[in-house]
Amino acid sequence: MTKDSSLYAVQCRNLCRHYQQGEQTIMGLDNVNIDIQDGEFICLTGPSGSGKTTLLNHLGGLDTPNSGELSIAGQSLSNLTPSELSDLRLNNIGFVFQSYNLIPVLSAIENIEFILMMQGVGKQRRGQQALAMLNEVGLQGLEHRRPAELSGGQQQRVAVARAIVSQPALVLADEPTANLDSVTAEQLLALFQNLNKKLNTTFVIASHDPRVQNYATRLIRMQDGKIIEDSASE
Q: If one looks up domain 5-233 in CATH, what number appears?
A: 3.40.50.300
Domain ranges of the chain: 5-233
Tens-binned pLDDT, residue by residue, of the chain (234 aa): 444 445 578 999 999 999 888 888 888 999 999 999 999 999 999 998 899 999 999 999 889 999 999 998 888 888 888 899 898 888 889 998 877 889 999 999 999 999 999 999 999 999 999 999 888 888 889 999 999 999 888 898 899 899 989 888 899 999 888 777 888 888 889 888 988 898 888 999 999 899 999 999 999 999 999 999 998 765
Q: Judging by beta carbons within 10 Å of its beta carbon (0-12, 13-18, 19+), is residue 2 exposed, middle or buried?
A: exposed
Q: What are phi and psi of 214, to 5 degrees?
A: -70, -30
The conformational region for residue 23 under phi > 0 = left, psi -120 to 50 = alpha, else beta, is alpha
User: What does 26-48 look like in DSSP terms, one character per residue?
Assistant: EEEEEEEEEEE-TT-EEEEE-ST
Q: Judging by beta carbons within 10 Å of its beta carbon (0-12, 13-18, 19+), is residue 22 exposed, middle or buried?
A: exposed
